Amino acid sequence: MIVYNRIQELKKHLNIARSQGKTIGFVPTMGALHAGHIALVQKSKAENDITVCSIFVNPTQFNDLSDLEKYPRTLENDSRLLEAVDCDLIFAPEVLEMYTEAELALKLKKVEDLAWTEGKTIDFGILDKVMEGAHRPGHFNGVAQVVSKLFRIVEPHKAYFGQKDFQQLAIIRSMTKQLGMPIEIIGCPIVRESDGLAMSSRNVRLTEKERALAPLIYKTLYAVQQNASKSSIVELKAFAENEIKKEASMSLEYFEISDANTLEPIHELKSQQTAVACIALKLGAVRLIDNVVIG
Ligand code: PAF
């Protein structure tokens, strides 16, 4: 396994591989790797000749500075985990390798402000306005910015993302299509702890007491999924909101049931329709998200 910190060195390696007809799979991450990330790497290993995993805590997607500062950085352990599954290349750039000072100074506001669109008109429709988009202003612009940069550096054939960030996956699919990038975007199932908690790099920040409460999130989503055919959307939402409200250390940001393709909130589940129930809440100081697909 080779670790690259420099864009040009990674590109040189990948250009040689590409000229030999090798296929490239890419797993972008912010590090603090867990079994969910490792499953993405394993899938990429199975489907491509070379797998690149990037580890970069992207400052432009954090709308809360203290969240950025507290984000776990565990490069040594991450490298060990990636070595164990035979990942081929790690790309772990410094912030100034990825961004100019000017880009960092520009507080991302609108899609149109961003150089990453390369003059193309990008319209995410409601994809970046609902749920995470509404609660984390600028977040998806930062995600799209860094992922488009990473895609231009790695130029993978396939890129792998977890479905835990369901909305992020929709944004990345839309961005890739609108920028005309010839990359297959592959969404992979959520990996859960044995008690149901979705794996997340943020879980390590939960106190012991909070960790013991955290399975309530999936328990609630699971009950919603099981009752979806018997209850109305209003009833399902009221149920989920009440379950979370019962736990004093949890503060709900949103619980939404949306069409799984458009992310348009729905008021009634039609037959043949696939929906997604998404939740975001704070457990103590830690913000967690999760979702289940319905229908
Ligand atoms: O999902 C993540 O870890 C990040 O949002 C991503 C896609 C690596 C971009 O920084």
Q: 201-294 is classed in which CATH architecture?
A: 2-Layer Sandwich (3.30)
**Active-site residue list:** 37
List all residues 6 or more positions away from 116 whose beta carbon is below 8 Å from its beta carbon: 144, 145, 148, 149
Q: Measured from the CA of 57, which atom of ligand 1 is nearest?
A: 10
Instruction: Give the distance from CA 290 to its chain's centroid.
Output: 11
Find the residues whose C-beta lies inside 6 A of ligand 1: 28-30, 58, 61, 143, 146-147, 165, 168
What is the pLDDT, as a whole number, of residue 119? 73
Q: Domain residue spans in the chain?
A: 2-188, 201-294
**pLDDT per residue as tens, the chain (295 positions):** 999 999 999 999 999 999 999 999 999 999 999 999 999 999 999 999 999 999 999 999 998 888 899 899 999 999 999 999 999 999 999 999 999 887 887 765 555 555 567 777 788 999 999 999 999 988 998 999 999 999 999 999 999 999 999 999 999 999 999 999 999 999 999 999 999 999 999 999 999 999 999 999 999 999 999 999 999 999 999 999 999 999 999 999 999 999 999 999 999 999 889 999 999 999 999 999 999 999 8
d(CA 26, CA 44): 7
DSSP string for 127-165:
TTTSTHHHHSTTHHHHHHHHHHHHHHHH--SEEEEEGGG
CATH of domain 2-188: 3.40.50.620
Q: How far is the CA of 27 from the centre of ligand 1 (A)?
A: 9
In Å, what is the CA distance from 180 to each residue of 37, 65, 93, 174, 232? 26, 33, 25, 10, 40
d(CA 164, CA 289): 7
d(CA 156, CA 51): 9
